[in-house]
Amino acid sequence: MLTTTQKRTAEAIVNVFETSEVRGNYGSVTLITGDTGHLTFGRSQTTLGSGNLYDLVKQYSDTAGARFAGALTPYLTRFRDKDLTLDSDIYLHNVMRATSDDPVMRDTQDVFFDMRYWQPAARAAEKAGITTPLGTAVVYDSTVHGSWDMIRDRTNAACGTVAAAGEQKWIGQYVTERRAWLAGARDDLRPTVYRMDAFRRLIELDAWSLSLPLVVRDAEISLATLSANPRGCYEGPAPGTRVLAVDTPLQRGLDVRLLQLGLSRRGVDVRADGIFGPGCAKSVRDFQSAEGKPATGSADISLIAALVAIA
């Protein structure tokens, strides 16, 4: 069995593949041309097309204390029906980004992805006779990204079972087979051969136990980074505790995110990333002009209070 740290390291490797973040990007919203999953969200990038996005959002919305349940609940039927117009619903995308600030969403994602991806991967690895942390990480990656059963069978045909070939040889062959398949797959999958290149590098480094620290795609995986707060998740400042304007360094935080979400709810073109940069200032000016107010580009306490109330 893997230790807790080995499990977290295996998950971190796939987090880096999925969102370039060791802890994962809990508010990641992506749309990849050609991806049959369509709208994709969260730490392990679950999709509208698979139906898993509905399950995740419903689980979150049904949890007591979910801060953004009121904003997401009206969308549940459309998530369930895999309504592809959600791909272009900018306000929804901003709400989903904002949920990353809610510990309830982060906990919901951790439990959800553990049940949907990690536990099935661990069972599949055990059934195949794979016991090393790195081997289990390879299975987990294919469980998240897809194609485990198919590439397992190709690998068995190429070199025999894990028991016959030995785990390290078998995993090496599996990585080779999966890279070749990805390289010849559809347009959105071909660029992801980097996943197998990263695993090949770990094999070359003899990192079968996933001992820390590791560097995967220029990301440091260590006890420090595994314990750090997820990047881009804000606990404060509370809205209304400061005036928001372009400053040096740029203002970041929960108050900025909720201001942006309020603007988005009013139809203003803004990305709720929690950063008050020049683009956010322009959105504030556009809103102020539309409301017949001085277009300063900064948000005073009264404007923040008004916009956060409708977020």
For residue 71, the domain's CATH number is 1.20.141.10
Domain count, the chain: 2
Q: Residues 110, 24: one domain?
A: yes
* Residue 292 belongs to some domain of the structure: yes
What is the mean pLDDT of the segment spanning 48-73? Answer: 96
Q: How far is residue 39's CA from residue 31's CA, in Å, rounded to a whole number?
A: 5
CATH number, domain containing residue 297: 1.10.101
Residues 114 and 27 in one domain: yes
Q: Is the model's pLDDT at 310 over the cut of 80?
A: no
**Using an 8 Å Cβ cutoff, are 43 and 15 in contact?**
yes
- Residue 52 included in any domain: yes
Among candidate residues 249, 257, 269, the one with its CA nearest the CA of residue 299: 257
The tokens for 8 are: 């977290």
Q: Are residues 221 and 261 in the same domain?
A: no
Q: Which of 226, 260, 278 delimits the end of a domain?
A: 226
User: Do the domain assignments include residue 241?
Assistant: no
* pLDDT at residue number 309: 81
* Confidence label for 163 from pLDDT (cuts 50, 70 and 90): very high
Could you count the other beta carbons within 10 Å of the beta carbon of residue 1?
Answer: 8
Residues 149-158: tens digit of each pLDDT: 999 999 999 9
pLDDT, position 195: 98
- Domain boundary residue among 211, 226, 241? 226
In a domain, 243, yes or no: no
Do 212 and 266 lie in one domain? The reply is no
pLDDT at 81 over 80: yes
Residue owning tokens 């996933």: 210
Residue 38 pLDDT > 80, yes or no?
A: yes
Regarding whether 131 and 36 lie in a shared domain, the answer is: yes
**198 lies in the same domain as 294:** no
Establish if 238 belongs to a structural domain: no
| Burial track 16-34 (b if 16+ CB lie within 10 A, e otherwise) | bbbbebbbbbbbbbbeeee
Does one domain contain both 256 and 215? no
Give the residue among 176, 93, 181 at the shortest CA–CA distance from 145.
Answer: 181
User: Residue length, the chain?
Assistant: 311
Residue 234 belongs to some domain of the structure: no
Average of per-residue pLDDT values in the chain: 96
257 contact partners, CB below 8 Å, separation of at least 6: 97, 98, 101, 234, 272, 273, 274
| pLDDT tens-digit readout, 2-20 | 999 999 999 999 999 999 9
- Whether 246 is covered by a domain: the verdict is no
Average pLDDT over residues 183-201: 94
Instruction: Give the structural domain span for 283.
Output: 251-309
Residues 208 and 283 in one domain: no
Instruction: Let me know whether 271 and 222 are in one domain.
Output: no
- 235 inside domain: no
Residues 152 and 275 in one domain: no
DSSP 87: G
Q: Is 84 helix (H, G, I), strand (E, B) or coil?
A: helix
Instruction: Give the model's pLDDT for residue 190.
Output: 93
Listed residues 209, 226, 243: the one ending a domain: 226
Percent of the chain at pLDDT exceeding 70: 99
Residues 174 and 267 in one domain: no
Same domain, 157 and 72: yes
